[in-house]
Amino acid sequence: MTDSPLHLTVKLNARLQPEHRHELFEDPLDALLGSVELGEITGGGTALSEEGEVDYGDIEIALNDPASLPGVIELLEQLGAPKGSLIQREGAPDQPFGVTEGLALYLNGTDLPDEVYEQCDSNYVFEQIVERIDGHGEICSWWQGPTETALYLYGASFDTLHARIADLLASYPLCQGARVVRTA
Protein backbone atom coordinates (compact mmCIF):
# COMPACT_ATOMS: atom_id res chain seq x y z
CA MET A 1 0.00 0.00 0.00
CA THR A 2 1.18 3.54 -0.67
CA ASP A 3 0.42 6.78 1.12
CA SER A 4 -1.29 8.38 -1.87
CA PRO A 5 -3.69 6.66 -4.25
CA LEU A 6 -2.93 5.97 -7.89
CA HIS A 7 -5.33 8.05 -9.98
CA LEU A 8 -6.21 6.59 -13.33
CA THR A 9 -8.82 6.84 -16.04
CA VAL A 10 -10.37 3.82 -17.70
CA LYS A 11 -11.28 4.82 -21.24
CA LEU A 12 -13.85 2.25 -22.36
CA ASN A 13 -13.99 1.79 -26.12
CA ALA A 14 -17.71 1.19 -25.82
CA ARG A 15 -20.69 3.06 -27.16
CA LEU A 16 -22.75 2.89 -23.99
CA GLN A 17 -25.31 5.29 -22.65
CA PRO A 18 -24.25 6.43 -19.16
CA GLU A 19 -26.81 4.19 -17.43
CA HIS A 20 -25.54 1.17 -19.36
CA ARG A 21 -21.91 2.01 -18.52
CA HIS A 22 -22.89 2.16 -14.85
CA GLU A 23 -24.82 -1.10 -14.98
CA LEU A 24 -22.26 -3.10 -16.98
CA PHE A 25 -18.97 -1.71 -15.64
CA GLU A 26 -19.04 0.94 -12.92
CA ASP A 27 -21.38 -0.73 -10.43
CA PRO A 28 -19.57 -4.13 -10.45
CA LEU A 29 -16.18 -2.39 -10.33
CA ASP A 30 -17.26 -0.10 -7.49
CA ALA A 31 -18.55 -3.10 -5.53
CA LEU A 32 -15.21 -4.89 -5.88
CA LEU A 33 -13.11 -1.86 -5.02
CA GLY A 34 -15.20 -1.11 -1.94
CA SER A 35 -15.51 -4.69 -0.69
CA VAL A 36 -11.77 -5.19 -0.37
CA GLU A 37 -10.84 -1.53 0.17
CA LEU A 38 -8.77 -1.33 -3.02
CA GLY A 39 -9.98 2.16 -3.85
CA GLU A 40 -12.95 3.99 -5.22
CA ILE A 41 -14.52 5.36 -8.36
CA THR A 42 -14.10 9.12 -8.29
CA GLY A 43 -15.88 10.11 -11.49
CA GLY A 44 -16.73 9.27 -15.03
CA GLY A 45 -18.12 10.68 -18.19
CA THR A 46 -19.30 10.16 -21.71
CA ALA A 47 -17.71 11.59 -24.85
CA LEU A 48 -20.20 12.39 -27.60
CA SER A 49 -19.85 12.94 -31.32
CA GLU A 50 -21.18 16.11 -32.96
CA GLU A 51 -24.44 14.22 -33.65
CA GLY A 52 -24.80 13.26 -29.98
CA GLU A 53 -23.76 9.62 -30.38
CA VAL A 54 -21.55 8.13 -27.66
CA ASP A 55 -17.91 7.76 -28.77
CA TYR A 56 -16.59 6.25 -25.51
CA GLY A 57 -16.96 6.40 -21.75
CA ASP A 58 -14.52 7.17 -18.96
CA ILE A 59 -14.32 5.83 -15.41
CA GLU A 60 -12.00 7.66 -13.02
CA ILE A 61 -10.53 5.56 -10.23
CA ALA A 62 -8.33 6.17 -7.19
CA LEU A 63 -6.54 2.90 -6.32
CA ASN A 64 -5.13 2.56 -2.82
CA ASP A 65 -2.51 0.09 -4.03
CA PRO A 66 -1.01 0.40 -7.54
CA ALA A 67 -0.29 -3.34 -7.43
CA SER A 68 -4.04 -3.95 -7.70
CA LEU A 69 -4.21 -2.47 -11.23
CA PRO A 70 -3.83 -5.87 -13.00
CA GLY A 71 -6.80 -7.15 -10.96
CA VAL A 72 -8.89 -4.16 -11.99
CA ILE A 73 -8.04 -4.78 -15.66
CA GLU A 74 -8.86 -8.47 -15.26
CA LEU A 75 -12.28 -7.62 -13.80
CA LEU A 76 -13.02 -5.13 -16.58
CA GLU A 77 -12.16 -7.79 -19.15
CA GLN A 78 -14.35 -10.36 -17.35
CA LEU A 79 -17.15 -7.80 -17.57
CA GLY A 80 -16.59 -7.60 -21.34
CA ALA A 81 -14.47 -4.48 -21.85
CA PRO A 82 -14.06 -4.00 -25.61
CA LYS A 83 -10.75 -4.18 -27.40
CA GLY A 84 -9.18 -0.74 -27.78
CA SER A 85 -10.00 0.30 -24.21
CA LEU A 86 -7.20 2.09 -22.35
CA ILE A 87 -5.86 2.66 -18.86
CA GLN A 88 -4.58 6.23 -18.72
CA ARG A 89 -2.48 7.69 -15.92
CA GLU A 90 -0.16 10.60 -15.55
CA GLY A 91 3.47 9.93 -16.38
CA ALA A 92 2.82 6.55 -18.02
CA PRO A 93 1.94 5.48 -21.55
CA ASP A 94 -1.63 4.42 -22.22
CA GLN A 95 -2.13 0.74 -21.44
CA PRO A 96 -4.45 -1.02 -23.91
CA PHE A 97 -6.77 -3.79 -22.78
CA GLY A 98 -10.08 -5.36 -23.73
CA VAL A 99 -11.42 -8.66 -25.00
CA THR A 100 -14.72 -8.16 -26.82
CA GLU A 101 -15.41 -6.88 -30.31
CA GLY A 102 -18.16 -4.43 -31.12
CA LEU A 103 -20.69 -4.13 -33.90
CA ALA A 104 -22.89 -1.09 -34.38
CA LEU A 105 -26.01 -1.62 -36.46
CA TYR A 106 -27.48 1.62 -37.81
CA LEU A 107 -31.10 1.38 -38.98
CA ASN A 108 -32.14 4.00 -41.54
CA GLY A 109 -34.82 6.15 -39.92
CA THR A 110 -35.68 8.54 -42.74
CA ASP A 111 -35.13 7.18 -46.26
CA LEU A 112 -37.25 4.03 -46.45
CA PRO A 113 -40.80 4.00 -47.84
CA ASP A 114 -43.42 5.19 -45.35
CA GLU A 115 -45.13 1.80 -45.34
CA VAL A 116 -41.94 0.17 -44.01
CA TYR A 117 -42.01 2.42 -40.96
CA GLU A 118 -45.76 1.86 -40.58
CA GLN A 119 -45.60 -1.93 -40.86
CA CYS A 120 -42.25 -2.75 -39.21
CA ASP A 121 -41.09 -2.46 -35.64
CA SER A 122 -37.58 -1.75 -34.34
CA ASN A 123 -38.48 -3.75 -31.21
CA TYR A 124 -38.86 -6.79 -33.47
CA VAL A 125 -35.34 -6.16 -34.83
CA PHE A 126 -34.03 -5.88 -31.27
CA GLU A 127 -35.73 -9.14 -30.18
CA GLN A 128 -34.55 -11.03 -33.27
CA ILE A 129 -30.95 -9.90 -32.75
CA VAL A 130 -31.04 -10.95 -29.09
CA GLU A 131 -32.22 -14.43 -30.15
CA ARG A 132 -29.69 -14.74 -32.97
CA ILE A 133 -26.63 -13.70 -30.97
CA ASP A 134 -27.57 -15.53 -27.75
CA GLY A 135 -24.44 -17.24 -26.44
CA HIS A 136 -22.24 -15.16 -28.76
CA GLY A 137 -22.82 -11.62 -27.53
CA GLU A 138 -25.40 -9.14 -26.41
CA ILE A 139 -26.93 -5.78 -27.23
CA CYS A 140 -25.38 -3.53 -24.59
CA SER A 141 -26.82 -0.16 -25.56
CA TRP A 142 -28.56 1.87 -28.28
CA TRP A 143 -28.88 5.38 -29.62
CA GLN A 144 -31.66 7.28 -31.37
CA GLY A 145 -30.13 9.84 -33.71
CA PRO A 146 -31.69 12.37 -36.05
CA THR A 147 -31.67 10.00 -39.06
CA GLU A 148 -30.65 6.59 -37.68
CA THR A 149 -31.19 4.30 -34.73
CA ALA A 150 -28.12 2.37 -33.59
CA LEU A 151 -27.91 -0.89 -31.69
CA TYR A 152 -24.54 -1.69 -30.12
CA LEU A 153 -23.61 -5.36 -29.97
CA TYR A 154 -20.56 -6.73 -28.17
CA GLY A 155 -19.21 -10.28 -28.21
CA ALA A 156 -16.14 -12.41 -28.76
CA SER A 157 -16.16 -11.93 -32.53
CA PHE A 158 -17.42 -9.15 -34.83
CA ASP A 159 -17.55 -11.64 -37.70
CA THR A 160 -19.71 -14.06 -35.70
CA LEU A 161 -22.09 -11.31 -34.60
CA HIS A 162 -22.38 -10.08 -38.17
CA ALA A 163 -22.93 -13.57 -39.58
CA ARG A 164 -25.63 -14.37 -37.02
CA ILE A 165 -27.71 -11.31 -37.95
CA ALA A 166 -27.01 -11.31 -41.72
CA ASP A 167 -30.24 -13.09 -42.67
CA LEU A 168 -32.32 -10.62 -40.64
CA LEU A 169 -30.54 -7.68 -42.29
CA ALA A 170 -31.17 -9.18 -45.73
CA SER A 171 -34.83 -10.05 -45.20
CA TYR A 172 -36.56 -7.65 -42.81
CA PRO A 173 -37.76 -4.46 -44.57
CA LEU A 174 -36.76 -2.13 -41.72
CA CYS A 175 -33.15 -3.31 -42.14
CA GLN A 176 -32.95 -2.08 -45.76
CA GLY A 177 -30.07 0.34 -46.06
CA ALA A 178 -28.77 -0.52 -42.59
CA ARG A 179 -25.12 0.15 -41.92
CA VAL A 180 -22.89 -2.26 -39.98
CA VAL A 181 -19.78 -0.74 -38.39
CA ARG A 182 -17.00 -2.42 -36.41
CA THR A 183 -16.60 -0.44 -33.18
CA ALA A 184 -14.04 -2.56 -31.32
- Separation of alpha carbons 28 and 23, rounded Å: 8
Whether residue 23 contacts residue 103, with contact meaning beta carbons closer than 8 Å, is answered with no
pLDDT digits (tens, 9 = 90+) for 23-68: 999 999 999 888 888 899 999 999 999 999 999 999 999 999 999 9
Q: DSSP letters of 90-107?
A: TTS--EEE--BEEEEEEE
pLDDT at 36: 82
User: How confident is the model at residue 129, as a pLDDT?
Assistant: 98
* Dihedral of alpha carbons 74, 64, 89, 40, sign: positive
CA nearest neighbour of 38 among 70, 14, 9: 70
2 has a pLDDT exceeding 70? no
Residue 152 neighbours by CB distance under 10 Å: 25
pLDDT by residue (tens digit) across 121-172? Answer: 999 999 999 999 999 999 999 999 999 999 999 999 999 999 999 999 999 9
Q: What pLDDT, on a 0 to 100 scale, did the predictor assign at position 1?
A: 47
Residue whose C-alpha is closest to residue 169's, from 143, 151, 184, 147:
151
Cα 33 vs. chain centroid, distance in angstroms?
21
pLDDT of residue 37: 85
Structure confidence at residue 3 (pLDDT): 66
153 touches 129 (CB < 8 A): yes
